[in-house]
Amino acid sequence: MGRLGSIVSLAVLGVVGCQAEPRGGRALSLNPAGLEPAILGEPAYAPKSPKYCLLVFGPRADTRIWLALDLASEPWQREPGKNTLYVDRNGNGNLTEAGERTACTLKEQGFYASFGSSATYTPCFAIGDIVERSSGARHTDLTLEVDSYVQTYRPCRLSVKVNGRHTQVAGSGLLRFADRADDAPVIHFNGPLTLRVHKWTGTLVIPNEAPPYYEEVKMVPGEPFDLCAQLGTPGRGNTFAALSTDAVPANMHPVADVEFRSQDPGKPPIKLHIPLKQRD
């Protein structure tokens, strides 16, 4: 995933706090039940119930694009014709109009076992360009990919080239489209930017009865620790649209203000002001 993977190794003695301040405007409160337009018209879906997601674009989130995912094939079935994505391209809430239906292609994912090999098929939808209403900014190559099951749902990943240049990505093993439009996750592209501390190891933990989560790197006193930051825009439903590192000029670096508790309880905390220069 494109991310601002700025890394610095620290000998952790006990971090008191590390915060990031938003730039380019305040992150908005996004609730699909209170945003207009609501979904005003829907097509006849396949036997399975559709799954919903709302995309918003721009600093004010005033370009709003509903997605309704009609997914009928299973990961092991090579049947793209069973799957359709409906995209409210003009943002009027009507998913029944001409041009709202997006066809599915499949990406084969092969894997090997002790006694043979097999494959699963990832549904992919090339949505294309989105133009913001207020600014006229054109975002290109909007794409949705749907992975195999995590518990009972199929996680999704969305990517777009903001202003046709820099990739912004949202989704992973935790992005779940909703059964109801009112509960839909909201993903905010080309919105106000902020930094978040990124401590995931990349290992997805899937408990039997609890929601899945990404394992976090443990901070052990006296041991080195890689401090990573991501630049992007938060949405709703624990979403974050991360911006690729090439969007940031090479001579600009995020700065971490980190405090460590002193080993001597009578002394003030140790404060560090550290530029994060390494990117990946």
pLDDT value at residue 249: 87
pLDDT at 156 over 90: yes
* pLDDT value of residue 239: 94
105 within a domain of the structure (yes/no): yes
Structure tokens at 52: 């919903």
The answer to the question of residue 207 being in a domain is yes
> Strand, coil or helix: what is 258?
strand
pLDDT (0 to 100) of residue 113 = 60
Distance CA 94, CA 87 (A): 9
Q: Report yes or no on 217 lying in a domain.
A: yes
Which pLDDT does position 20 carry in this prediction? 43
Among 65-79, 153-167, 220-234, 239-253, which stretch is predicted with the lowest mean pLDDT? 220-234
In this prediction, residue 116 has a pLDDT band, given cuts at 50, 70 and 90, of low
- pLDDT confidence tier of residue 100, bands split at 50, 70 and 90: very high
Highest mean pLDDT among 23-27, 35-39, 85-89, 201-205: 85-89
Please report the pLDDT score of residue 17 as a whole number: 37
Q: For residue 15, is pLDDT > 90?
A: no
Q: pLDDT tens digit string along 162-200?
A: 999 999 999 988 999 999 999 999 999 999 999 888 877
Per-residue pLDDT, 259: 85
Beta bridge partners of 85: 69, 102
Tokens of 214: 């990404």
- pLDDT of 238 higher than 70: yes
State both tokens at 274: 């550290």
pLDDT classification of 23: cutoffs 50, 70, 90: very low
- Confidence (pLDDT) at 221: 77
Percent of the chain with pLDDT over 90: 55
Q: Determine, yes or no, domain membership for 11.
A: yes
Task: State the sign of the Cα–Cα–Cα–Cα dihedral 102, 191, 181, 37.
Answer: negative
In whole numbers, what is the pLDDT of the chain averaged over residues? 84
Domain range enclosing 99: 6-275
pLDDT mean over 109-129:
82
> At 25, is the secondary structure helix, strand, or coil?
coil
Pairing of strands 186-189, 51-57: parallel
**Residue 128 covered by a domain:** yes
What pLDDT is recorded for position 119? 87
Question: Is residue 94 in a domain?
Answer: yes
Identify the pLDDT of residue 43: 94
> For residue 70, which of 87, 52, 50 has the smallest C-alpha distance?
50
Is 1 part of any domain?
A: no
pLDDT at 138: 97
Q: Is residue 280 part of a domain?
A: no
Task: Tell me what pLDDT residue 9 has.
Answer: 41
* Mean pLDDT of all residues in 4-14: 39
Mean pLDDT of 197-207: 82
Lowest-pLDDT choice from 7-11, 66-70, 125-129, 156-160: 7-11
Taking CA 213 as the corner, what is the angle to CA 208 and CA 214, rounded to the nearest 5 degrees?
Answer: 130
How many distinct structural domains can be found in the chain? 1
